Amino acid sequence: MRKGLYIGILGLLAVLVSIGGVALFYWDYQSQLAQNVLLEKKLKEAQETSKEAIVTRRVSAQLEEIAYQQKDISDQQRQEALHQKQIADEMRMHAEYEQKKALEAQQVAIEAYSEMEAQKRLADQHREEAVAAQMKADTLARLALVRSLSSEALSQYEAGNGELAALLCYSAWKFTVENHGDIYQPTLFNALSALSDQYDYKDLHNGPIRSMCLVDSMLVTASQEGEVALWRVRTDEVELDTVICQDARFDLRHIRVDRAGNGWAAAYDGHVLKIDLRKKRVSKTYETGLIAPVGLVASDRSLWLMTRRGQLFRSALDEIRFEEIYAHDQEILTFTDSAQGLLFGDRTGAVYTIGREGQATCLLSGSGQGVTCLNGERPGQLFVGHKNGLIKQVDLETHHTRNLVSHVSSLTGMVLFGEHLLSSSLDGSVRLWRLDGERITSSEVYSSSNWIHTLAFWNPGLMVIVGDEKGRCARFSISPEQMANEIKRHLSRNLTKEEWQYYIGELAEYEAYR
C-alpha cells in the first residue's frame, strides 16, 4: 500500500514536472517572441534613424553649401562696403580740405575786414581826439578869456566905465557857464560881486551889532545898546518885523534861540534876558552875576554860558539857576556848540571839547595865537579862527592841518556850505573860501571900514548877513547866477561889434544880450 502511495506521489510529481516544463517552455517561447518583436522594432527605428541621418546630412550639406554661398556674397558685400567707405573717406577728406580752404579764405576776409574796421575805428578815434582836443583848446581859451574879461571888467569899473564893465563881466559869466567853468573862480566872482551892486543896508541899531541868530526865515539881532530886533528874511531882502527891546542898561553880547522858540540874550554885566519871540517881548530878566560872557548855547533843556575867566555854567531852561561845572586855567575867548559837542578856545590857541558833565578834552594844542572863533559843524573836522586872522582847517582823525591866510585881524564868524567857507573878521571883510581843491582859494565878497562882529548865512538864497561896529546890518547874495542876472537886468545896451572883436575876438560868435 505504501508502495502504491509512493508510486502515486511519484506520478503526481512527474505530472507536475511535466506541467512545469511545459510552462517554462511556454514562458521561454513568449519571452523569445517578445524579444524578437523588440529587435524588429529597434531595427525599424535604426533604419528610420539612418534614413533621417542621411536626410540630415544632405540638408546639412545643402545648408553648408548655402552658407558658403552667403559667405561669398557677404565677402563681396564687405569688399564693396570697404570700397564705398574708401570712396566716402576720400570724399570727406576732400570736403574737409575744401572746407578748410573756405574757412581760411573766410578768416582772411574777416581779418581784412577787421583790419579795415580797426583802421576805421582808429581813424574815428583820432578824429574824435582831434575834435576833443580842439574843443578842449577852445574851452581853455574861452576860460582864459573869462579871466581876462573879468580883470578888464574890474579895471573899467574902477575907471568909471560902468556900462562897458557890466557888459564884459556878463560876457565872462556867460562863457564860464557855457564852458562848464568854475563860477566861483576868484577873478570872475570878484567882478560879479563888485558890478552887481546888490548890497542892502539897514541902519537900525544905535550900538554895535554883537550877535545874531538865524532860525528858518527869522533873524534876531542884539546890540551893545540893549537893542533886540526881529527880522523876516526873504529871497531878496531882510525886512524889519519888530524892535523887541531898547534898553541901554544891557550891553548885549550873545543871543540864541532854543528849540521852543524862546530867545536868550546874555549881557556883559551878567544879565540874561528871556525873549518871547511869539509875543515879541522880553518876558523875564535874570541877574546872574556872570560877567563877560564869551559864548551862550541853548541846547536840549539846558542853557550854557561861559565867561572870559574860564568858568562854564549850566542852567535848566525852565528855571534859570546857573551852576558852575568846569573851570579853565586860561582866559577863554570863544565858546560854541558843534558836531563834536561843546567847544571853547583859549588865549593860548588851544581848543577843547567839553562834556555835559564838565569833562574837558584837548582837540588842538596852543600855538600862541588866541582862538576867537570856532566852527565844528562837520563831524571829524574843525575850523579854528585866530586873533591874527589865520584860519586853520583841522582833520581831527589825522591831525592834518591846512592854513587859510587872508584876514589880518580877529575872526568873528565862520559858516560852512557845500565845499565853501564864509568868514568874517574885525578887519571889516567877509571872504568866501573854496575848500575842495589842493590849493585853497578865496574871494572877498564884502568889505567895510567898520569892524564886523557877527555873521549869518541863509542858504535858500545864498544870502549873507553881517552886523558891524556902527550898528549896520548888511545883506548881500553870494549866488553868482543871481549876481549875473542882476547885472544883465541893468544892461542898457549891447557890445558893439568893434568892442566884441577887440575884447573877445573869434573865440565866440557875436551875441546880443538885450
Condensed to tens digits (0 to 9), the pLDDT of residues 231-270 reads 999 877 889 999 999 999 999 999 999 988 999 999 999 9
Tell me the average pLDDT across 72-79: 73
Q: What is the pLDDT of residue 340?
A: 87
DSSP 63-101: HHHHHHHHHHHHHHHHHHHHHHHHHHHHHHHHHHHHHHH
Q: Are 372 and 381 in contact (CB under 8 A)?
A: no
Strands (E), 309-410: 311-316, 319-327, 332-336, 342-346, 351-354, 360-364, 371-375, 381-386, 391-395, 401-404
Given a cut of 70, is residue 139 above it in pLDDT? no
Tell me the average pLDDT across 442-462: 92
Given a cut of 90, is residue 116 above it in pLDDT? no
CA distances from 505 to 34, 70, 145, 171, 508 (A): 151, 107, 10, 12, 7
pLDDT cut 70: percent of the chain above it: 90
Whole-number Å distance between alpha carbons of 271 and 289: 7
Given a cut of 80, is residue 200 above it in pLDDT? yes
Give 3-state DSSP helix, strand, coil % of the chain, rounded to 5: 40, 35, 25
| Rounded to 5°, angle at Cα 317 from 314 and 321 | 50
Among 216, 354, 233, CA closest to 295: 354
Q: What is the pLDDT of residue 78?
A: 74
pLDDT band at 400 (very low <50, low <70, confident <90, very high): very high
Q: Are 213 and 252 in contact (CB under 8 A)?
A: no
Whole-number Å distance between alpha carbons of 139 and 146: 10
Higher per-residue confidence, 475 vs 30? 475
Q: Phi first, then psi: what are they for 65, rounded to 5°?
A: -65, -45
Q: What is the pLDDT of residue 388?
A: 96
Mind listing the pLDDT tens digit for each residue in 266-275? 999 999 999 9
Helix ranges, 159-198 (H)? 162-178, 186-196
Q: What is the pLDDT of residue 15?
A: 63
Q: What is the pLDDT of residue 137?
A: 63
Given a cut of 60, is residue 2 above it in pLDDT? no
Chain centroid, CA 495 distance in Å:
44
Q: Are 203 and 197 in contact (CB under 8 A)?
A: no
Higher per-residue confidence, 490 vs 299? 490
Average pLDDT, the chain: 87
Whole-number Å distance between alpha carbons of 332 and 321: 22
Say which amino acid occupies 221.
T
Could you give the strand order of the β-sheet that contains 381-386, starting from the edge strand earlier in sequence?
371-375, 381-386, 391-395, 401-404
Given a cut of 70, is residue 86 above it in pLDDT? yes
pLDDT band at 106 (very low <50, low <70, confident <90, very high): confident
Q: Are 313 and 324 in contact (CB under 8 A)?
A: yes
Torsional class of 457: left (φ above 0), alpha (ψ -120 to 50), beta (otherwise):
beta
The set of residues, in sequence order, having a beta carbon less than 8 Å from that of 260 and lying 6+ positions away, is: 317
Q: DSSP 3-state assignment of 38?
A: helix
Q: What is the DSSP letter of 228?
A: E
Q: What is the pLDDT of residue 497?
A: 93
Q: What is the pLDDT of residue 20?
A: 65
Whole-number Å distance between alpha carbons of 456 and 449: 19
User: Looking at domain 200-478, which CATH architecture does it have?
Assistant: 7 Propeller (2.130)
Torsional class of 179: left (φ above 0), alpha (ψ -120 to 50), beta (otherwise):
alpha
Write down the pTM of the prediction.
0.72
Q: What is the pLDDT of residue 507?
A: 81
Given a cut of 90, is residue 182 above it in pLDDT? no
Q: What is the pLDDT of residue 17?
A: 61
The set of residues, in sequence order, having a beta carbon less than 8 Å from that of 416 and lying 6+ positions away, is: 375, 377, 378, 383, 422
